[in-house]
Amino acid sequence: PSSSSAGGGGGGGAGGPLLSLSALFGRGGGQQQQGPTPEVRVPLNNVGKVPIFQLLYELYSSHGGVFRMRLGPKSFLVLSDPGAVRQVLVGAVDKYSKGILAEILEFVMGNGLLAADGEHWIARRRVVAPALQRKFVSSQVALFGAATAHGLPQLEAAAAAAAAAAGDSRGGGAASVDMESFFSRLSLDIIGKSVFDYDFDSLRHDDPVIQAVYSVLRESTVRSTAPFPYWKLPGISLLVPRLRESDAALAIVNDTLDRLIARCKSMLEAEGSIPMPASPSSPSSSTATSSSAPSSPSAPLEESSAPTVLHFLLGSGEALNSRQLRDDLMTLLIAGHETTAAALTWALHLLVAHPEVMKRVRDEVDWVLGDRLPGSDDLPLLRYTTRVVNEALRLYPQPPVLIRRAMQDDVLPGGHVVAAGTDLFISVWNLHHSPQLWERPEAFDPDRFGPLDSPPPTEFSTDFRFLPFGGGRRKCVGDMFAIAECVVALAVVLRRYDFAPDTSFGPVGFKSGATINTSNGLHMLISRRDLTGVPPPAPRAPAAAAGAAAG
């Protein structure tokens, strides 16, 4: 095996490693036989200088699709080879677990689907996945459009200020809008309504529940980039104020979720849709974080019969205790929020940098929708916009690195031996950016996936070169939901506004947390789009028009 030393330089942006490298130290081995697998030693002091996905990309170009990376006493197998990745995600999936992910995320999502393994995962997936299927996603399209429209006044205010500033001879300045924050709030509003019928309304106001959600999300990011799992030390939260704050924030979020579950249960019980429980549920009172939970300071929860994932879970007939339900809801909130927000952020960034692509998106939106908000029947027609989202996810996969741990010995294509206990990084970033796997990998080219009337790209249709939603049985359960949300949100804002980077904030940069964020926001100057000369939308067939009206 070859051996070399990797520098940590190069690439843009500050920020720590995506994953808790040192949190892996001291856990099971994986350092036995090397075989044909190249090996690279990375000095520990290089860890954290660049985001881990950038470091892995540099090493990939010199060490190939399967290499072992040694960091201090620990080693990891880094996979950027489609055949090896396919084996781990599909062929030999039973041999691999989620490894440290469960430890990092346990505090917030308990035993929820994302980090669970084995029998528990099978049981959760069987209940959660059907809730997010196509029929449900179709029922949410109107909500995606309405939620986006609800945020338009903020963009309108910025556009009006810009128009006023342009006519102001004294040279008044126009304020830009941080579209990363806009999309983060939009996706929080959407996931809250769709999953458990909670109206965060975070695009319009801030309240303690919203702050609590962001505090919990920040803590997940901090833990995933921490040098070691210090939060497990006894009594540590007495010493670290941030941990106390995050406990309090978690208590607020848990309390809100418990009340939403209780409300939904009583509505369904009143309808006779689920059996009455033997005693009223107060799940959070059994947990340390929630026993001292203050009442949620949010407005009282109103009755609602909107279709939500929670309704589906409660109506599924499975015997779910409230703790499990809360873990599932929290998992969906975390898995579905930042990922989608990041996808929208980078899609807009790319579109603004590529006017020719922007023009084609707008031509499509103008033709399909005009000023109408999208209905579910419109989505199949917004094909180019969908390809734009696919391509944005290729260039900015969220998350850029997946993690696994081998539970049994395995041998990957090419004879790479994986000993039980080995921790693996699957670099989706490398797969998506590889010059060996893609022509002009750094180009933003939504046409690269083939004709627009061909099926959308999947991990199988691309031979595991493209896996923005993972692959195999652990594939994202929210993929259709996420694509639909992104397409709708882009269509609604791009029809109405022009965006130009506010260069006074400097380059957009990278920062890695659980997803790839900008280093300083996506600040855009906004103006009303000039629709002079834009043709009206195409006439719709009666069935499609009826569907859209319903939406």
Q: Looking at 55-63, 240-248, 262-270, 471-479, which segment touches ligand HEM (CB under 6 A)?
A: 471-479
Residue identified by tokens 């986006």 is 148
Tell me which residue has its CB nearest to ligand HEM.
Answer: 478
Phi, psi of 59 (to 5 degrees): -70, -35
CA–CA separation, 64 and 40 (whole Å)? 11
Q: Which two tokens stand for residue 293?
A: 């939970």
Reduce the DSSP state of residue 252 to 3 states and report it: helix
Stretch that binds ligand HEM, among 204-212, 244-252, 300-308, 462-470 (CB under 6 A): 462-470
Q: How does DSSP classify residue 397?
A: -
**Contact between 381 and ligand HEM (CB under 6 A)?**
no
Using CB under 6 A as the binding rule, whether residue 127 contacts ligand HEM is answered as no
If one counts every other C-beta atom within 10 angstroms of the C-beta of residue 455, the result is 8
Q: Does residue 480 interact with ligand HEM by CB under 6 A? A: no
As measured in angstroms, the least distance from the Cβ of 437 to ligand HEM is 18
Residue choice 109, 158, 332, 379 for contact with ligand HEM (CB under 6 A): 332
Tell me: does residue 374 bind ligand HEM (CB under 6 A).
no
Establish whether 264 is an annotated binding residue: no
457 binds ligand HEM (CB under 6 A): no
Does 470 participate in binding ligand HEM (rule CB under 6 A)? yes
Tell me the C-alpha to C-alpha distance, in Å, between residue 306 and each of 12, 142, 311.
Answer: 44, 12, 9
- Decide if residue 335 touches ligand HEM (CB under 6 A): yes
Is residue 422 within the footprint of ligand HEM (CB under 6 A)? no
Tokens in use for 266?
């009583």
- 516-517 and 423-427 beta bridge pairing: unpaired
Which two structure tokens, joined as six digits, stand for 302? 């109103």
Instruction: For 320-406, list the strands marked E by DSSP.
Output: 401-406
The distance of closest approach from Cβ of residue 505 to ligand HEM in the complex, given in angstroms and rounded to an integer, is 24
Does residue 331 interact with ligand HEM by CB under 6 A? Answer: yes
d(CA 516, CA 497): 25
User: Judged by CB under 6 A, how many residues of this single chain contact ligand HEM?
Assistant: 23
Give the length of the chain.
Answer: 551
Q: Binding of ligand HEM at residue 481 (CB under 6 A)?
A: yes
Minimum CB–partner distance for residue 132 and ligand HEM (Å)? 6
Interface with ligand HEM (CB under 6 A), residue from 52, 114, 369, 548? 114
| Of the candidate residues 482, 488, 490, 491, the single one contacting ligand HEM (CB under 6 A) | 482
DSSP structure class, residue 11: S
Q: Is 188 in the site for ligand HEM (CB under 6 A)?
A: no
DSSP assignment letter at 428: H
Q: What are residue 5's phi and psi, to 5 degrees? A: -115, 135
Determine the interface stretch with ligand HEM among 102-110, 172-180, 293-301, 334-342 (rule: CB under 6 A).
334-342
Select 38 or 200, whichever has its Cβ closest to ligand HEM: 200
What is the smallest separation between the CB atom of 474 and ligand HEM, expressed in angstroms? 4
Report if residue 113 touches ligand HEM, rule: CB under 6 A.
yes
**Cα–Cα nearest to 310, from 295, 322, 296, 298:** 322
Residues in Cβ contact with 278 at an 8 Å cutoff, skipping those fewer than 6 apart: none
Task: Determine contact, residues 373/146, Cβ cutoff 8 Å.
Answer: yes
Q: Is 108 in the site for ligand HEM (CB under 6 A)?
A: no
Q: Which residues are annotated as a binding site?
A: 476
Q: Please report, as ranges, the residues that interact with ligand HEM according to CB under 6 A.
A: 113-114, 125, 132, 331-332, 335-336, 339-340, 343, 393, 398, 402, 468-470, 474, 476-478, 481-482
